[in-house]
Amino acid sequence: MTATKEKKQPRFKQITVMLMMTAFQLLSAACVLCRDEELNMNLVYIFFGYIAAEWLYMLIGNLVTDNDYFELEAIAFFLSGIGLTVCASFSESYALKQLIAIGMGLAVYLIMLLLIKDVHVAGILRYPAAVGSVAVLAANLVLAQTVNGTLNWIDLGFFSIQPSELVKITFILVGAVSLEKLLSITSLTKYVIFSLGCVGALFLMRDFGTALIFFFTFVLIAFMRSGNIRTIVLICTVALMGAMLIIYFKPYVANRFAAYRHVWDYIDTTGYQQTRVLIYSASGGLFGLGIGEGKLRDIYAASTDLVFGLICEEMGIILGIAVLLSFAGIAFFAIKSAKSSASTFYAIAAVGAAGMMLFQLSLNVFGITDLLPLTGVTLPFVSRGGSSMLCSWGLLAYIRAAGAPFKAPQPDIAVKKTPPKVKNIQIDKAPPKRKKGGSA
């Protein structure tokens, strides 16, 4: 009798997905390369290098770990490939920087998987991560220069970093470890203080979009652990009162959102970006005007904050919907993995990371279409920028870890039934013979 086989994803489906994704990326690359009269060989190397890296990752994963769990990474590669195509349509330097950022993000993803593979190690990392996060945000307040009204970039000369993006990774780690086992109020209190410190620093930086993302993630993690709706309502009420006080003492904060729901009244001033997104993205139709043919690319932040509108205009609304469905797939994977995760830590981390990405996606897409106030946050995996790419892949590691990453399926083993050991018992043993001459 053989043991029951563990259910595996058929390998041919994985190959089929990779072939379809490669065909799409080759078509996108051809659209970018055909824009110039002369073939840009550097862009050819960038596109083929990216496609080769995808296949290499999948093949090594199959050979080393002998598993077929590649859905999550396939979604991330698909989204990152769209972002690489957008960057390549602007310039070769953008494409090269984005390719390097994707490579660094993948490295962060693999390192994170190794670090959080053991819950005990993750617990040890909690305090260094919390202290490092606070220190980085404090340094940001001192060293950063004001860009577009915010203090969220540190220029290191040869490149710039956005510390708040990197702190998102540690924010999930600290929250998941702290609330894994609520044995005392002390653990929750420390996490609340840490969260308030992060959100407060982001408000001082005037990075309100990222502050909202951190606050939403804190509420989500707290609700997952407590399940107490009254507590969550109390937290939100206190936060609302704090926001009202900030607006009262800092009136310029409210001025930043004055155009919300009135962008057509400010079509040439504060509503300039949203009105152009609404006009140009709709003009792309189902299949787009063609890569590089859109007008939105001439608007400021087209490859970063407004990238979703640019995708709809040049590549079509169908691809825009595919991007949204990809994030829905990530969320579904996180929820499914959390239900069967080996530890509360993995469940909290996975749902927290997915929630953070979905909320950021909502702020980006709904902000540029005037359904929410424009906060200037990036679209995960797609927007141009190294810090955002590192954060996106780092958050993805929490979701993968909840689903038992790189766990090789059990081989078929013949199981033999062995009878239970029993004591030697003599059955139907003849009675002892009587001695001759003995008494009856």
In a domain, 322, yes or no: yes
pLDDT at 26: 96
What is the number of other CB atoms lying within 10 angstroms of the CB of residue 327? Answer: 22
pLDDT tens profile 200-241: 888 888 888 898 899 899 888 888 766 667 667 767 776 776
pLDDT (mean) for 90-99: 96
pTM of the predicted protein model: 0.85
Mean pLDDT is highest, among 28-37, 67-76, 396-405, 420-429, for 28-37
Strands (E), 96-236: 154-155, 160-161
* Phi then psi dihedrals of residue 147, to 5 deg: -130, 120
In a domain, 195, yes or no: yes
| Cβ atoms 384, 94 nearer than 8 A | yes
Question: Over 90: is that where the pLDDT of 307 sits?
Answer: yes
DSSP structure string for 183-217: -SHHHHHHHHHHHHHHHHHHHHTT-HHHHHHHHHH
Task: Write b or e for each residue in 89-118: b if 16 or more Cβ atoms lie within 10 A of its Cβ, otherwise e.
Answer: bbeeebbbbbbebbeebbebbeebbebbee
pLDDT (mean) for 27-53: 93
pLDDT at 415: 41
**135: containing domain:** 114-402
In single-letter form, the type of residue at position 201 comes to A
pLDDT at 4: 41
Question: Over 90: is that where the pLDDT of 35 sits?
Answer: no
- Is pLDDT larger for residue 429 or for residue 280? 280
At 294, is the pLDDT very low, low, confident or very high (cuts 50, 70, 90)?
very high
Question: Over 60: is that where the pLDDT of 412 sits?
Answer: no
Whole-angstrom distance, CA of residue 53 vs CA of residue 47: 10
pLDDT at 155: 78
Provide the 3-class DSSP secondary structure of residue 96.
helix
- Is pLDDT larger for residue 391 or for residue 410? 391
pLDDT at 49: 96
In single-letter form, the type of residue at position 74 comes to A
Question: Over 60: is that where the pLDDT of 414 sits?
Answer: no
- Overall domain count for the chain: 1
pLDDT tens profile 315-331: 999 999 999 999 999 99
In a domain, 288, yes or no: yes
pLDDT at 66: 57
At 433, is the pLDDT very low, low, confident or very high (cuts 50, 70, 90)?
low
Question: Over 60: is that where the pLDDT of 417 sits?
Answer: no
Share of the chain above pLDDT 70, in %: 80
* DSSP type of residue 266: G
In a domain, 410, yes or no: no
* Phi then psi dihedrals of residue 415, to 5 deg: -110, 120
Question: Over 70: is that where the pLDDT of 411 sits?
Answer: no
Q: How far is CA 34 from CA 78, 94, 182, 288, in A?
A: 22, 18, 59, 16
* DSSP type of residue 351: H
Whole-angstrom distance, CA of residue 159 vs CA of residue 157: 6
What is the number of other CB atoms lying within 10 angstroms of the CB of residue 41? Answer: 9
The structure tokens listed for 157 are 């000369």
In a domain, 104, yes or no: no
- Is pLDDT larger for residue 366 or for residue 249? 366
In a domain, 285, yes or no: yes
pLDDT tens profile 151-186: 778 877 767 888 899 999 999 999 888 877 654 556
Question: Over 60: is that where the pLDDT of 272 sits?
Answer: yes
Question: Over 80: is that where the pLDDT of 352 sits?
Answer: yes
At 409, is the pLDDT very low, low, confident or very high (cuts 50, 70, 90)?
very low
Provide the 3-class DSSP secondary structure of residue 147.
strand
pLDDT at 183: 47
User: Of 106, 181, 183, whose CA–CA distance to 386 is shortest?
Assistant: 106
Question: Over 90: is that where the pLDDT of 103 sits?
Answer: yes
End-to-end Cα distance, the chain: 57
In a domain, 312, yes or no: yes
In a domain, 419, yes or no: no
* Range with lowest mean pLDDT among 20-34, 50-64, 362-376, 397-411: 397-411
